């Protein structure tokens, strides 16, 4: 399975933008880039995904590098409820669609 | 609530006992996944089903672990002769896979926490 590299932890101030980086230099052409997050004491939840183009949804934006070897999850205005572990995952739907989680980035948000 | 539900939420057992966890996926979802998560780590994939067929098992799934999805709806994960190392959160997720289309996002339950004494 293709792997991703993320910082172990990041800090943000409330109401400021947050940029969570992810490196995936071994990405293949059929890999989608997915982001999930896990709030304390909960199961992971879907945030966003993309293949080549940048993507926006109500939760976040995903910026994908032109060579697809890195991506950035952008939270436009962090709130205290955004404090969670954020996982960047490469997902090959030809492999049953399963997600292989890494360590993720633990985001803390300061008021 | 129409999300993924898991039961029980917490289970404390003595080493050597058998335990069973149940997962009820979102009703129209044909894929069901089991994961295990220990403190400070990301979830580890265990196995997944498409309808009632178990299509993949991780090497993490030892002979003491068995999962079933008999009618393609709910699933059970049984651990026999539990060991202290089995203490973890067991997460279930479901998704919709449609022929010729990309598999949808995974929806996770809140997990079943197992403590083996």
Nearest CA in chain A to B104: A97
Mean pLDDT value across chain A: 92
Does the structure show a pLDDT above 80 at A27?
yes
- In the predicted model, what is the mean pLDDT of residues A37-46? 94
Which pLDDT score, from 0 to 100, does residue B99 have? 63
The pLDDT assigned to A29 comes to: 87
Number of Cβ pairs closer than 8 Å across A and B? Answer: 57
Residues contacting residue A6 through CB under 8 Å, at least 6 positions apart: A20, A21, A22, A23, A86, A87, A88, A102, A103, A104, A105
CA of B57 vs chain A CAs: smallest distance (Å) = 11
The pairing of beta strand A105-110 with beta strand A9-13: parallel
CB contact under 8 A, A99 and B45: yes
Question: A47-93 pLDDT, tens per residue?
Answer: 999 999 999 999 999 999 999 999 999 999 999 999 999 999 998 76
The pLDDT assigned to B94 comes to 95
Chain B environment of A87 (Cβ under 8 Å): 42
Please name which of A33, A6, A31 lies closest in space to residue A20, comparing C-alpha atoms. A6
| DSSP bridge partners of A95 | none
Write down the pLDDT at residue A98.
Answer: 84
- Is A86 touching B (CB cutoff 8 A)? no
Cβ–Cβ under 8 Å, residues B50 and B29? no
The DSSP bridge partners found for residue B45 are B35
Q: Which residues of chain B register pLDDT less than 50?
A: none
Q: Which of A33, A40, A44 to mutate to test the interface with B (most CBs of B within 10 A)?
A: A44
- Predicted pLDDT at A96: 67
Residues 50-79 (A) with a CB less than 8 A from some CB of B: none
* pLDDT attached to residue B101: 61
Rg (C-alpha) for chain A, rounded Å, is: 13
Provide the edge-to-edge strand list for the sheet that holds A70-75.
A18-23, A70-75, A61-64, A55-56
Secondary structure class of A80 (helix, strand, coil): helix
């Amino acid at each position: 399975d293709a792997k991703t590299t993320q910082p172990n932890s990041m800090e943000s101030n409330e109401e400021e933008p947050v940029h969570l980086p992810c490196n995936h230099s071994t990405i293949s052409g059929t890999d989608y880039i997915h982001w999930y997050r896990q709030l304390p004491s909960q199961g992971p939840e879907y945030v966003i995904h993309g293949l080549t183009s940048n993507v926006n949804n109500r939760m976040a934006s995903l910026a994908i590098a032109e060579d697809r070897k890195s991506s950035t999850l952008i939270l436009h205005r962090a709130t205290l409820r955004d404090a969670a572990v954020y996982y960047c995952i490469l997902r090959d739907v030809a492999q049953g669609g399963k997600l292989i989680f890494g360590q993720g980035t633990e985001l803390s948000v300061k008021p | 609530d129409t999300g993924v539900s898991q039961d029980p939420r917490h289970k404390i057992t003595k080493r050597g006992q058998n335990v069973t966890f149940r997962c009820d996926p979102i009703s129209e979802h044909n894929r069901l996944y089991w994961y295990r998560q220990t403190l400070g780590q990301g979830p580890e994939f265990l196995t997944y089903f498409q309808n009632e067929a178990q299509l993949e098992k991780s090497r993490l799934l030892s002979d003491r672990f068995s999962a079933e999805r008999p009618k393609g709806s709910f699933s059970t994960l049984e651990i026999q002769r539990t060991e202290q190392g089995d203490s973890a959160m067991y997460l279930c997720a479901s998704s919709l896979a449609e022929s010729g289309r990309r598999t949808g996002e995974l929806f996770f339950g809140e997990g079943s926490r197992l403590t083996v004494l």
